[in-house]
Each structure stands twice: as structure tokens, then as C-alpha cells.
Amino acid sequence: MEGYQSFAVTVQGGSHIKSETVCQDFSNFLNDDSVSITVVADGHGDSSCFRSDRGAMYAVNCAIKGIQQFVEEHEALFKQGVFKKHDPPSHRELEKLIHEKLIKQTVASWNMLVMTDCQKNPFTEQELEKVSEKYRKRYDKDNPEYKDGKYVNKAYGTSLIAAAITPWYWFAFHIGDGRFSVLYKDGKGDQPVPWDPKCYLNVTTSICDDDILDRGEEGVRTFLSLHTDKEPPVAFFLCSDGIDDNYPADEKENALHLYRLYREIAVTFAEDGYDSTCGEDGKSGQIKDLANEFATKGKGDDTSLAGIVNIEELKKVAPEWKKNMEAAEAKRKKDKADADEKAKEEAEARKKADEEAAARKAKREAEKEAEKETKAETEENAKEGVPVKAEADVEVKAEPEKKDAEAAKEETGTTTETKEAINQYNRQPEPQNAQNVNIEA
């Protein structure tokens, strides 16, 4: 579609290369005048899904063909000349058409391709070697249910993410795990298709589920937006879990990491152009190098990264995005440095507290040990008849007696001195009476 270009890259995971397991991811895209489409499928790694690589390829091809036909069939509803014959479908009407026609057709086409492939290429003994006993019985060619095709599609199980934009609307639908994200002009990211809560660890919803079309939004989750309601995103991104599993499991944290990655990719498209970023074929270039990094140095799973970008619009916003990204990166580094410093201080404080606690504990243990030794010595002396506390008692008692003796001595000395003074006074001659003295002239 004018203004938008699609791309899609898939790389075999390092772990699959080591185990000689085929790449179970598949992706592809389509660009024409009326629509830009990109699709990713991640075939299940369970031993019972031994043809999931083919299932992923069939799912992607069915989705692209189905979307292209759907857009062409309903294009006339939006294209109107001077003489208006009818109103274009409303949001609700178009959403209903996507569910009842496009998605049902895509799933039905996939099941038909799977059955055809199995009829032409029956399951081999080599394929069934690692299959559980339960599915080995189900896949047995003599099993009536197998002949009816009841369990055949399980061997081809896969997830599926598809997105498309036309001159009038854009939409996406999603089965299973993986992530679908968009970026708007202001740089804000969103994941408009609700996450499937049934997808966790190695469990996922699958296109091969018997009731996939009966569960409504719990089976196939969708999103639709008319351009008259809201300006479309400037970039769409789809990825298999080979990418999003490398980020935190928390949904919000995971999304923030993906938005940061996708902004960098979007700026690269704006600065380096389409051919340099994803190759002339839309399946190579820097995008493939990035996918290969995730596939070999990340979790090692098969990795798919696809998208739709409006390069002209990205050129307008890229400088501001880049400025904000650099500021955000500087803040992240500062916050990390502050957090590291705080963690270091807390670790040192904990270490000091632990050392002090250990010292207190050692002191208490030493005191208890000393107490224990003293008690043992006392008990031993008691057994031998030694009055351990006698000396202490004598010493304690002698102290007040000593003080009493010194006090008595002081008192005795004072009495003796007093008596001596009195005696001296008494020995002095008595003075003559002045009145009896005759003074002659």
C-alpha cells in the first residue's frame, strides 16, 4: 500500500541447529497497491507436532492469501465515486466480516492443506519414533479417527500472527504466543491485540485446536481500527517468542523492552532506508542480522521478526524519537548507576551489621562458656570439700572489722591527748590574789 512497506525475517535458532531440529518458524509478507501484509507463525516444538514446520508455512501462506482476497472483495465498499450509492461498513460490521469470513476461511484453508499433505505424505515410522504413546495410537493409520482426519492437524500445530493495513483501515489477528506491537507518531507503543492468558511456559493456544473458532476472542484475538476513528500507526511489528522470551516475563516490562527495540529499528529504517535495513527482498539486511543475534546469543530458539513501516512518516519523527531515546538511555544508565551504588551501600551495611551481630554472638558464647567453666569448677571443689567462697567471706567480713579498729584507734588517741592536756594544766602554780599584795611606795 502507498506509504507502507512490509518485511519479514526468520532465522533458525542456535539450539535447533545443535540438535539438528528443523526451523519451526515461518514468516512472509506482501505489498501491493491496496494492502500491506505481514505474517509470522511459530510451529510447536512438542514431539507430537513433528510437522509443525510445514504447519507454520501453511498458516502464513493461508493468512496472506486470505487477507488479500478479503481486502479485494470489500474494497468496493470503501471506494465510492461522486454518486454515493451506500455507506462504507461500520466498525462493528467490518469486525464481524473479519471474524466470519477471513478468519474462518484462513483456518479452514489451513486444515485442508494439512489433510492434503498428510494424504500425500503419510506419517512415517521415523516421524513417530519420539511421539508419546497417546499420540502414537492416534496417528496410527489403522485408527478410524486417524482415517477421518480427527487428529492429523495436531502434528502440524502452530501459532499465528497476521497484520494488514489498507487505505481505509488496519487490523490484526493472533492465535497463540508471540507478540504484536505498534508505534504511533508520538513514539508511544501499544499492543492492541489482547494477550492470551492461556499461553504460559510451553503451553499455547494453537490453530490446530478443535474449538479454535468456537471460543471467540479467547481463541482468535483480533483488533480493527478505521482511519476515520484514529490515525494509523507509523510502524507495526510482529515477533515469535524467539525474541520476546529474551525479555522479562512481566507483561508490562516485556512490552517496554519491545517498544525500545522497535523504536531503534524504526529509526534505522528512517535513516538507512528500506533496502539497507531489510534488504531489497525484505528478508535480509540489518533486520536479519538482528534476528540472528537473538537466535544464537539469546534463548537460542527459532526467531521471526516481521513488520510494516511508513518510512516517509518515520523520517519526520525519527529525529525527535532519537533525541528522546538518547535522553531515556542516559536516564536508564544514571538510574542503574544510582541503583548499583545504593545496592553496594546496602550490602556494606548488611555486612557490617552481620559482623557486629557475629561479634555479639561470639561474646555471648564466650561468657556462657566462662560461666559454664566456673560452675563446673565450683561443683568440682564442692565435691572435694573445698569451701570455695570462704576466703571471699573472710575478706568481706574483715573489711568492716578493720574499719572499726581504725575508728577505735582514732578515738583512743584523741582521749589520751585530751587527758595529757588536762594534766599539764593542773600542774601549773596557782596565781596570787592581787588584792593581798602590798605595794610599798
Q: How far apart are CA 142 and CA 128, in angstroms?
A: 14
Place of cell 507436532: 49
**Angle (CA) 239 241 245, round 5°:** 120
Residue 392 has pLDDT above 70, yes or no: no
- Amino acid making up residue 296: T
Place of cell 536508564: 332
* End-to-end Cα distance, the chain: 167
Place of cell 501462506: 61
Q: How far apart are CA 320 and CA 326, in angstroms?
A: 10
Q: Going from the N-terminus, what domains does the chain have, and what CATH number goes with each?
A: 5-79+87-316 (3.60.40.10)
What mean pLDDT comes out for the span 6-13? 98
Confidence of residue 86 (pLDDT cuts 50, 70, 90): low
Quickly count: other Cβ atoms within 10 Å of residue 234's Cβ: 28
Residue 387 has pLDDT above 70, yes or no: no
Q: Which of 135-139, 236-240, 279-283 has the lowest mean pLDDT?
A: 135-139
Buried/exposed 70-96: b ≥16 CB within 10 Å, e otherwise: bbeebeeebeeeeeeeeebbeeeebbe
Q: Which of 143-147, 338-342, 377-381 has the lowest mean pLDDT?
A: 143-147
Backbone phi and psi for residue 55, each to the nearest 5 degrees, phi listed first: -60, -40
Confidence of residue 227 (pLDDT cuts 50, 70, 90): very high
Cβ atoms of 255 and 181 within 8 Å: the answer is yes
Number of H helices, E strands in the chain: 12, 10
Cβ atoms of 324 and 32 within 8 Å: the answer is no
Place of cell 519491545: 258
Confidence of residue 437 (pLDDT cuts 50, 70, 90): very low
Q: Are strands 189-190 and 160-165 parallel, antiparallel or unpaired?
A: unpaired
Sign of torsion, CA 39 42 48 53? positive
What mean pLDDT comes out for the span 167-179? 96
Cβ atoms of 27 and 278 within 8 Å: the answer is no
Cβ atoms of 314 and 17 within 8 Å: the answer is no
Mean pLDDT (the chain, rounded)? 87
More confident residue, 414 or 77: 77
Q: Which three cell numbers stand for residue 412?
A: 583512743
Q: Which three cell numbers stand for residue 110?
A: 489451513
Confidence of residue 422 (pLDDT cuts 50, 70, 90): very low
Amino acid 402: pLDDT: 53
Packing angle of the helix pair 251-278, 285-297 (nearest 10 deg): 140
Amino acid 196: pLDDT: 87
Amino acid 434: pLDDT: 40
Q: Say how far residue 335 (Cα) sits from the centre of its chain.
A: 18
Q: Which three cell numbers stand for residue 138?
A: 492416534
More confident residue, 232 or 130: 232
Residue 433 has pLDDT above 60, yes or no: no
Greatest alpha-carbon pair distance for the chain in Å reads: 182
Q: Which three cell numbers stand for residue 282?
A: 525484505
Most confident among 24-28, 76-80, 379-383 (mean pLDDT): 24-28
